Amino acid sequence: MNEFRTYFVLGVFTLAFFLAFGRILQVQIFEREQFQKYIENQYYQIQEVLLPRGTIFDRNGKFTAISVPTLSVYVIPKYIKDKENVAKQLSLLLKIPYENLRKVLYERKNYTVIATNVDKSLKPQLEKLRSDLKEWNIGIIDSSMRFYPFGSTAGSTIGCVSKKTGKGLEGMEYALDDYLGGGVAKLRFLKDARGNLVAIENADITKKTYNAVLTIDMNVQYIAEEALMELVQERNPLEAAVLIMNPYTGEILAAATYPNYDPNHYESYKIRRNIIFQNAYEVGSVAKPIILAEAIDEKKVDLNEIIDCQNGAIYVDGVRIKDHKRFGLLTPVQIIQHSSNVGAIKIALRLDPKSVYKKFRDLGFGQKTGIFPGEASGFLREDYRPVNIAYAAIGQNWTATPLQVAVAYSAFANGGYLVKPMILKGLTDDTGNYVKIFQPQVVKKVLSDESVKKIKPILKLVVEDGTAKSGKSDFFTIGGKTGTAQKYDPAIKALSNSKWYTWFAGFFPVEKPLFTVVVFANEPKPKFPGEHIGGGGVSATVLKNLVDRIMFYYKQKPDKVPTSDNSLSSVQR
């Protein structure tokens, strides 16, 4: 009997051992992942925090976009002892409605973030609050937020960063994502059995970031935006822009747009496009000097010849094209000075049609520059029929971005060269040393020395005593061309007689240009009933103060003798 008991007990223990061993084997091998997930859910909490991004500077080292250290505040409600008092105290400190906090504390149980982008200076007060209340399940995590010190100034160019993902959404913030870094990091919090925070594990926040230096000069940007707002307030257009560029290097010094937005509050704006880069429009008479340049190169025009402008109308392939005035006999110089459609068309019809389109493409039209996200290429379809050459000559059947127009007119300013535009000057490390510098690029020669030499004085005449004389400066010479293009109206399926694009494109000073300027407006409104809308009366009008302020900011001496003492006092005012 004793022997039977011995074997029985031994058998029970053996069976229990194998059952226990089997269970251990099952847990360790077959159910390991399931138990691991259970433990992680029980003792770990994952939280995403925004990582700091590199800083964006203007060309003079001014902060235009910076990551500001902030705090995130969380609670674990099921372990908060005095929910009423905690809600009250946190409401006062964080400026969050008491009822909102109370609802979180009573309706949630586990880890919950109650505030993000909290001012870093509140950290000592939050820590004291935890200590005084002995509520250790109020937690603080270091984070960051993107801040734009200049607000909406250059907002559509600098762009914005998502407040949820920390990644660039628009503009240069989006274009430079790979260099600026940012984004989110996943922090894994280890808790004890009571839910108290013990440690932070697996925090990957060491991603390499760089700072970016733009070619933008925020002082010039501010001047350009003030000039732009004068135009907007006076004409109430749908869109408008002012672009300032170095004609030799292609560096963009100012890119002012309307509408614009403040990147600090990007979510409040429905439209966040930058029309200088991302929208293309018909250019109107801005195209005429390009046609004249090609005619000079093909030896198809004499600047002293007389061309009959036919009292302001011409038929091409049976299509009647009108002038804005009833011009009679004009020289090619006067055709540009007074912007005759008929005269420009007659010159264009002398040219090789393929050469006309080649000239446009050589100057950068119909193709993206590649410097800005979402950039438009414009529309330039080659159609060699005379009526299409006629419309191309007056900028009425093809489109371009304000940037492309600036690049083309820079060629008139710099001696005939196509330059690649620049908005990014370089990248720096945390010590401020450049790790990459982007050099100006001259693409090729696109205008002959002869055509540049002959056309520059004509463009000066346009401003001094032509269609752009409303923008004439008393101190500095300006050369350029106005442009007015009828908008297509879908309602009538024809060109509108009341909706226009207006342009001015040019450079200053004329002899030794320092800057290229483009001023654009989409559907500017008339000041009075029956007013003729045109580039001279709309876009050119902002030139005077714009040019004077930029040149005086750069401490440049006037290259013209002031016409009166009153001119000086008006500028100083």
CATH code of residue 83: 3.90.1310.10
Assess whether pLDDT exceeds 50 at residue 534.
yes
pLDDT-based confidence at residue 571 (cuts at 50, 70, 90): very low
Task: Give per-residue burial for 161-181: e unless 16+ CB within 10 Å, then b.
Answer: bbeeebbbbbbbbbbbbebbb
Is 28 within the bounds of a domain?
no
Is 136 within the bounds of a domain?
yes
Is 92 within the bounds of a domain?
yes
Same domain, 371 and 304: yes
Assess whether pLDDT exceeds 80 at residue 47.
no
**Segment 42-46 mean pLDDT:** 56
pLDDT in tens, 258-303: 999 999 999 999 999 999 999 999 999 999 999 999 999 999 999 9
Same domain, 183 and 234: no
Is 444 within the bounds of a domain?
yes
Assess whether pLDDT exceeds 80 at residue 139.
yes
**Segment 465-471 mean pLDDT:** 95
**Segment 142-146 mean pLDDT:** 84
Is 431 within the bounds of a domain?
no
Same domain, 496 and 549: yes
Is 4 within the bounds of a domain?
no
CA–CA distance, 526 with 539 (Å, rounded to integer): 13
**Segment 530-549 mean pLDDT:** 91
Same domain, 79 and 140: yes
CA–CA distance, 18 with 24 (Å, rounded to integer): 10
Assess whether pLDDT exceeds 50 at residue 169.
yes
Amino acid 182: pLDDT: 72
**Segment 38-65 mean pLDDT:** 76
Same domain, 164 and 308: no
Round the average pLDDT of the chain to a whole number and report it.
88
pLDDT in tens, 89-110: 999 999 999 999 999 999 888 8
Q: What is the CATH number of the domain that holds 511?
A: 3.40.710.10
Assess whether pLDDT exceeds 60 at residue 35.
no
Same domain, 241 and 389: yes
Same domain, 342 and 387: yes
Same domain, 343 and 246: yes
Amino acid 415: pLDDT: 97
| Structural domain range at position 495 | 218-265+273-424+440-572
Is 168 within the bounds of a domain?
yes
Same domain, 548 and 413: yes
Is 491 within the bounds of a domain?
yes
Q: Name the domain count of the chain.
A: 2
CA–CA distance, 217 with 130 (Å, rounded to integer): 47
Amino acid 228: pLDDT: 97
Peptide bond into 97 cis (omega under 30): no
pLDDT in tens, 154-165: 999 999 999 888
Residue with the two structure tokens 């000057």: 425
**Residue 563 CB neighbour total at 10 angstroms:** 10
Same domain, 444 and 299: yes
Assess whether pLDDT exceeds 50 at residue 570.
no
Same domain, 159 and 302: no
Write down the pTM of the prediction: 0.85
